[in-house]
Amino acid sequence: MRDVAVVGFAQRQMRRFDGSSNTIELLVPILQELWEQTGWTKDDIGFWCSGSSDYLAGRSFSFVTAIDALGAVPPISESHVEMDGAWALYEAWLKIQTGEADSALVYGFGKSSASTLRRTLALQLDPYTLTPLWPDTVSLAGLQARLGIEQGVWDEKAMAEVAARSRTSGADNEYAVRGAATSVDDVLAQPLFADPLRKWDCAPITDGAAAIVIAATDRLPEKCTRPAVISGIAHNVDSPSLGLRDLTRSPSAAAAASAAGGTDGVQVAELHAPFSHQELILRRELGLGEDVDVNPSGGALASNPMFCAGLIRIGEAARRIWDGDADRTLGHATSGVALQQNLVCVMEAQA
């Protein structure tokens, strides 16, 4: 196996929707930031891969338009996944493992404000038994949260603790759209939104984009002095049928973490949990103890741009290694309803 490291990361998360940037306008400054970080140019990238959704954009092959931000002339080796950009990173990692490329740039983008997000995401459900009912994602998350409360797995206070910590951490993140010093009592004082969820238990609707550069460790950019080496990366999936799985658990997350080498020694974990109770599920399934710093960026509850929020979690986890704040970190991404699909990426400082 080739050692591959995360060597660049940039993001944009829009606080306002009116007149917000289109895909190309979002990506161009991000790419420029990556060139400044790494000292590379487009010519140094061997493979490109994106993550987005035509359903969200409302037009076919919307990802092709984004290639204008990259500059497709001369021709480039490019691919796309109809998933969060974290899965594009997985494809790029595999591309480097095969020896077909030594470096890759992956990106994800989504304009959630362009549609009614709760309704659009119903299209990811079983097309025969669930989608015709149009159950929205927040209501389904409310059912999941209620199951956990009724079974005594967590309570509203535990959920509020997650929401309060995320909002407080988000205040220190320049890209977060939701952030302020918040107490548990502040959260519990909010009215119910989708019982037992309050609005602060739910991720905000966010437009945004993010990109990451990865490279084989024998081809690192000179500017990268402390690369975040990917020691393990894996993804797994649970049944799309909600009646066939325990919604208070996430076996696919546990399986992905195990396949990625486990979580022993992880100091910082960035978990893609769009709802407060889902962080509680992930902490248990991934075996993260109280000594692990979870979502110091604020996580998805501070900002949740579709199809790049998971990629951002990996970038934020890598940044902790670059800054010297940690030696082993974990980035997690999810897709589908109620934590159906999960990807875990474990990174370590280069020895």
pLDDT tens-digit map of 312-333? 999 999 999 999 999 999 999 9
Contact residues for 116 (Cβ-Cβ < 8 A; gap 6+) = none
Mean pLDDT along residues 191-205 = 96
The answer, yes or no, to whether residue 301 has pLDDT greater than 80, is yes
- Does the pLDDT of residue 203 top 80, yes or no? yes
* Contact call for residues 10 and 173 (beta carbons, < 8 A): no
Work out the average pLDDT over 263-269.
98
Q: Is the model's pLDDT at 164 over the cut of 60? A: yes
Smallest CA-to-CA distance from 312 within 326, 324, 327, 301 is with 301
pLDDT at 113: 82
4-116+205-219: which CATH topology? Answer: Peroxisomal Thiolase; Chain A, domain 1 (3.40.47)
pLDDT band at residue 351 under the 50/70/90 scheme: low
Residue 135: the pLDDT is: 93
State the DSSP code for 196: T
Q: Is the pLDDT of residue 249 over 70?
A: yes
**253 has a pLDDT exceeding 70:** yes
Closest CA to 241 of 84, 121, 127: 127
The predicted structure's pLDDT at residue 289: 94
Among 88-92, 117-121, 177-181, 231-235, where is mean pLDDT lowest?
Answer: 117-121
The per-residue pLDDT for 293 is 98
**Within 10 A of 149 (CB to CB), how many other CB atoms are there?**
16
pLDDT in tens, 75-121: 889 999 999 999 999 999 999 999 999 999 999 998 888 778 888 88
Domain ranges of the chain: 4-116+205-219
Predicted local distance difference test score (pLDDT) of residue 20: 60
Which candidate, 138, 144, 157, places its Cα nearest to that of 199?
138
- Nearest CA to 69 out of 209, 220, 223, 214 is that of 209
Residues paired with residue 14 on neighbouring β-strands, in sequence order: 207
Q: How far apart are CA 95 and CA 2, in angstroms?
A: 11
Can you tell me the mean pLDDT for 284-290? Answer: 97
Percent of the chain with pLDDT over 90: 80
**Per-residue pLDDT at 17:** 59
Cβ within 8 Å of residue 25, ≥6 positions away = none
More confident residue, 293 or 23: 293
Residue 243 pLDDT greater than 80, yes or no = yes
Mean pLDDT of the chain: 93
Mean pLDDT is lowest, of 22-36, 168-182, 280-294, for 22-36
Q: Give the model's confidence band at 16: pLDDT under 50 very low, under 70 low, under 90 confident, else very high.
A: low
Question: What's the mean pLDDT in 179-199?
Answer: 97
What pTM did the predictor assign? 0.96
